[in-house]
Chains A and B, each alone.
Chain A
Amino acid sequence: MRQTTDTLTRPVSGADEARVSRRALLKVGATAAGGLALAVALPSWSMADGSDSGAVLNAFVRIEPDGRVRLTMPSVEMGQGVYTSLSMLLAEELEVKLDQIEVEHAPPNDALYANPFLHLQATGLSASIRGFWLPLRRAGAAARLMLIAAAARRWKVDPAACTVKDGVVLHPSGARSLPYRDLLRSAAESEPPALDRIKLKEQGQFSLIGTSPKRLEAPDKISGRTQFGIDVMLPGLKVAAIAISPVLGGRPKAVNQSAALAIKGVHQVVAVDEAVAVVADHMGAAKKGLEAAAIQWDDGPNASIDSKKLVEQLKKASESPGVVARNEGHFEQAFSGAARRLDAVYELPFLAHAAMEPMNCTVHYRKDICEIWVGTQQPTVTQAAVATLTGMPKEAIVIHNQYLGGGFGRRLEPDGTLLAVKIAKQIDGPVKVIWSREEDIQHDVYRPYYYDRISAGLDEAGRPIAWHHRVCGSSVVARFSPPLFKNGLDFDAIEGAAEPPYAIPNILVEYVRAEPPGITTGFWRGVGPVHNVFIVESFMDELASAARQDPVEFRRNLLVHNPRALAVLNLAVQKAGWGQPMPPGKGRGVSLQFAFGSYLSQVAEVAVDEKGNVRVERIVCAVDCGLPVNPKMIDAQIQSGTIFGLTAALRGAITIKAGRVEQGNFDSYPPLRIDETPPIETHIVASTADPGGLGEAATAAVAPAVTNAIFAATGRRIRRLPIQPA
């Protein structure tokens, strides 16, 4: 295999320049079937020591002799549409039709499939397009150039005079042509082009990027053919229903094995540290067996945990100073000299993810191999965790990733796989462990509870001259990736707080880490911004009100330096008809954010009845996510993120009593339904900037737009989510 090395002249995204390595590599060779294999990779990066581990190459593009283009997908498909959008990046430069591309789930391998933006084979942080925007286009362009060169050699013509369309190279005369499949061998034997010579298309030359082709996997998804993790079938497969200790850290004390085994179809009862599994021919029998097992629990040390007490602990912790995330100017001095001072406390609840596909994992554990079928956002982290658990080498942990029936951050966590492996170790043959909806909600890894304090001072003219935000909650980063938790600062917990889009002099942002016992917290769609944008944008509204200014005008005055933020704000309010009168009981609210590399502004219209019940009647969203790769997918993600955030804002809350999560199914943790869903309009700002992320942005933007609208309608300020009727 031959390779060339060069230096990327620009990072994958401006937002994270420092963490993206600049060197890129190209590798070319033949596939087993005699096709062309090609890879462009940014060097991988070890999270543990921050070092550049160098020249390991991936192999995510192969063109087979039958003309099919196979793309080994480094990101997982969980509804956000990356299987289509990432394929578009490749097809655009390779000059093939989108439907010529066949997608495969990638096996775990950070060196081969790490997202260059995350430095890890992970799908999250709205980073797939940002991470693969350059590598996939470069891969496509390099292959195209080599195939054209092969044709030109055969014809003895200047490659620059050849053209290419839909996988066919055209002779300069236009009279002859060669399909890619006839050029693969010659291309595979040739020198790859130097990466710095690969000229990617200019934006005006795109024929696929910027259009909205159908999702590649949609036909399978509308006919029940898509295989999710829960659908895996293997010869001799048994299924297992589980009960996990209702209190974190508890263990099974007594299990009525014989009663469970007496149920027709039940084969085995397995107890592991924190759970009991009943293994059967089918889930109906397994669930019946689990009930018959009448498990008694030793609750362990967390049986008195109560979320009211946890909130008291957070409140106390929030009273002390934290680690400084940003400190510019002199907050104290400016605040004490302000003409008007405001203080507020904002609270956000624990939240479960509740993906439609309940947690599940299929494992076949044998002496020297542990084979796993699961839909995971982090295959390598999962593989490493299983290796640690079993003592097997990583190579013996084979993970077959699957389509995900929703992720939202839940499937970043390896806990469900580890539990399934512990169960499978005691079973002869493969077993599919499926969590009930109650287990899924009661044993989630929850979005942290936040108890934040925020203060600001206004000058005589009503301009903010001092701003202090103290974030207080558990650190997901410290648990999830300890090396990235530096100097006591959780970069995620403060995202959206430390850098609000506004020009405010004298700004102090702190982080207080306070870990509530008896509950594990994790990433949840929208991550840091979903909590901070609610607080910042609500408080901006409070300041506007105190300054007796229109909330939009108030924000505009602080955005002179930030034209992209100002543009989305202006577009959203214009499309929403901001300023037009509303009937009594109705109101409009606005929010603005920069998060995941994208600018977003939302206007919500709400109606509040006499009892204080809130109905959201319309959402208007303006977004500048850089160059729009697939506008319909952007619209879908805006709708999706908005509805996910709206569910949480209106009624999402996980509470704990006697160590037990009080919610269990969709009756007590109720998602938004079709009859409550407002019309959601998306307006996309034309942009030529590199694409930003969008899977999570609208989730963060919607809560403050709605609560600010409630304030406009009623004068009632919501400082604690979920929104309760008055």
Chain B
Amino acid sequence: MTYALKINGKSHTVDVDGETPLLWVLRDVLKMTGTKFGCGMALCGACTVHIDGAATRSCITTVDSVGEAAVTTIEAIGETPAGRNVQRAWLDHDVVQCGYCQSGQIMAAAALLASNPRPTDSEINDAMSGNVCRCGTYNRIRAAIKYASEGGR
């Protein structure tokens, strides 16, 4: 079965079973490896992408459920205002360590700030507690989100 996907503003046609997770279509079929595999069960958030702007776990999102929706991945998140702010804040606050979870962290944070430009601590917890970081960068993630929410001031 072929599916036409709209990813980062470009159209891609893939020939896979409909139940194939979007994660593996991105990584193995389209060779876009910025989106990461961590758990396969939506427990860690490493695979987070945006579907029509909403943070979505691509490891449990089947390709046939995407339809016409716009998929945005880490490779293009810097082209959105919230994504650009978040990436800059991530650099300013030296967030990353091993970096493996950070694509997902940045996608989750960008979705949060796009819908809620001034999140409280508890709103940050709600939006980000689905994203695991084994290096333990959480306190800098929180600081960077606050910094980005204040427009880098």
Contacts and interface: CB of A to CB of B under 8 A. Distances in A.
B39 interface: yes
A632 B129 CA distance: 24
B99 A358 contact: no
B99 A283 contact: no
Contacts of B73: 224
Most buried by A among B74, B78, B133: B133
Q: Which secondary structure characterizes the binding site on chain A?
A: loop
A403 B99 contact: yes
A680 B139 contact: yes
B113 interface: no
Contact of A434 (B37, B43, B95, B133): B37
Interface stretch (A74-82, A511-519, A586-594, A711-719): A74-82
B98 A231 contact: no
A217 B102 CA distance: 13
Contacts of B133: 356
A357 B100 CA distance: 6
B129 A674 contact: yes
B99 A221 contact: yes
B128 to A, nearest CB: 5
A264 B17 contact: yes
A406 B38 CA distance: 12
Given A285-B20, A356-B132, A436-B40, A636 B94 contact: yes
Interface stretch (A463-471, A575-583, A608-616, A638-646): A638-646
A436 B21 CA distance: 14
A675 B99 contact: no
Interface string B129-153: 1111111111111100000000000
Contact of B74 (A224, A239, A644, A674): A224
Interface in A390-434: 403-408, 434
Nearest to B92: A214
B40 A405 contact: no
B125 to A, nearest CB: 4
A90 interface: no
Contacts of B33: 224, 227, 230-231, 233
Interface string B24-66: 1101110111111111110110100000000000000000000
Interface string A432-450: 0010110000000000000
A673 interface: yes
B36 A357 contact: yes
B46 A356 contact: yes
Given A355-B134, A358-B38, A673 B129 contact: yes
A300 to B, nearest CB: 27
Contacts of A585: none
Contacts of A162: none
Given A282-B24, A674-B129, A404 B98 contact: yes
B5 to A, nearest CB: 14
Interface stretch (A19-27, A336-344, A663-671): A663-671
A282 B26 CA distance: 10
Given A221-B96, A222-B90, A356-B133, A677 B138 contact: yes
Given A233-B33, A674-B141, A283 B103 contact: no
A239 B33 CA distance: 14
Contact of A406 (B32, B131, B135, B141): B135
Interface in B55-107: 73-75, 78, 87, 90-91, 94-103, 106
A679 interface: yes
Contacts, number: 191
Interface string A108-143: 000000000000000000000000000000000000
Contacts of B4: none
B82 to A, nearest CB: 14
A593 to B, nearest CB: 19
Interface in A133-158: none
A326 interface: no
A265 interface: yes
A79 B99 contact: yes
Given A223-B78, A674-B142, A677-B139, A640 B97 contact: yes
Given A436-B40, A672-B136, A221 B102 contact: yes
Contacts of A239: 28
Contacts of A217: 96, 99
Given A80-B97, A357-B100, A282 B16 contact: yes
A643 B140 CA distance: 13
Query: Which of B38, B78, B125, B134 gathers most chain A CB within 10 Å?
Result: B134
B102 A643 contact: no
B24 to A, nearest CB: 4
Interface in A599-657: 632, 636, 639-644
A610 B95 CA distance: 36
Given A265-B16, A674-B129, A214 B94 contact: yes
A673 B138 contact: yes
Interface in A351-368: 354-358
A642 B137 CA distance: 11
Nearest to B22: A284
B124 interface: yes
Contacts of A643: 136, 138
A283 B129 contact: no
A309 interface: no
A408 B98 CA distance: 11
B34 A222 contact: no
A222 B96 contact: yes
A226 B103 CA distance: 10
A249 B84 CA distance: 50
Contact of A675 (B24, B100, B125): B125
B134 A288 contact: no
Q: Which of A219, A434, A675 neighbours the largest number of chain B CB atoms within 10 Å of its CB?
A: A675
A354 B98 CA distance: 13
B28 A79 contact: no
B40 to A, nearest CB: 6
A358 B23 CA distance: 15
A225 B77 CA distance: 13
Contacts of A287: 40
Contacts of A408: 134
A181 interface: no
Contacts of B124: 674
B1 to A, nearest CB: 9
A484 to B, nearest CB: 28
A190 B103 CA distance: 48
Interface of A: 77-81, 212, 214-215, 217-228, 230-231, 233, 239, 263-265, 281-285, 287-288, 354-358, 403-408, 434, 436-437, 632, 636, 639-644, 665-667, 671-675, 677, 679-680
- In order of increasing CB-CB distance, the 4 nearest A-B pairs are A224-B34, A643-B136, A405-B100, A79-B98
7 contacts: A224-B34, A264-B16, A265-B16, A355-B100, A437-B40, A636-B94, A636-B140
Interface of B: 16-17, 19-21, 23-25, 27-29, 31-41, 43-44, 46, 73-75, 78, 87, 90-91, 94-103, 106, 124-125, 128-142
Given A214-B94, A406-B100, A406-B134, 18 more contacts: A79-B135, A218-B90, A222-B90, A223-B78, A224-B75, A265-B17, A282-B27, A283-B27, A356-B38, A356-B44, A356-B135, A437-B39, A639-B140, A665-B43, A666-B44, A666-B132, A671-B132, A673-B130
